[in-house]
Amino acid sequence: MVHYTTPEFTFVIDNDSVDLSAAENVYVTFKQNHSLVTKTGDDLSIEGGKTIKVWFSQEESAYFIPGPVSIQINWTFLGGDGKLQRVSTGIRQVKITQNLLARVVA
């Protein structure tokens, strides 16, 4: 991600037993120090049950400073017993780079 841009992230869940199209809710959380953004619902799209696409606005990318950002995906689904189950991926990191034009542009 580049600070003060509109990045798109694509995540692929590489597990044959996972079908995110059957998930009740999907959450993609980005965290750096005290900055936290969670995308869910209309903030993301799921393609083919395995691929998640997430978009940031310029304002959202401005919450973060150049350096590493932690990302984790969580989702919920109804288990065989009818109870809501929660699953999460491991935490991964991406690096945010600097933008020389450090402001929101129209």
Domain parsing of the chain, residue ranges = 8-96
C-alpha distance from residue 11 to each of 40, 70, 77 (Å): 14, 14, 19
DSSP, collapsed to helix, strand or coil, labels residue 59 as helix
H runs (alpha helix) in the chain: 58-61
The pLDDT assigned to 72 comes to 98
Helix H, strand E, coil C: the string for 48-104 is CCCEEEEECCHHHHCCCCCEEEEEEEEEEEECCCCCEEEEECCCEEEEEECCCCCCC
pLDDT tens digits in sequence order for the chain, 106 residues long:
776 788 899 999 998 888 999 899 999 999 999 999 999 999 999 999 999 999 998 889 889 989 999 999 999 998 889 899 999 999 999 998 887 776 777 6
The pLDDT assigned to 6 comes to 84
Is the pTM above the cut of 0.85? Answer: yes
The pLDDT assigned to 106 comes to 67
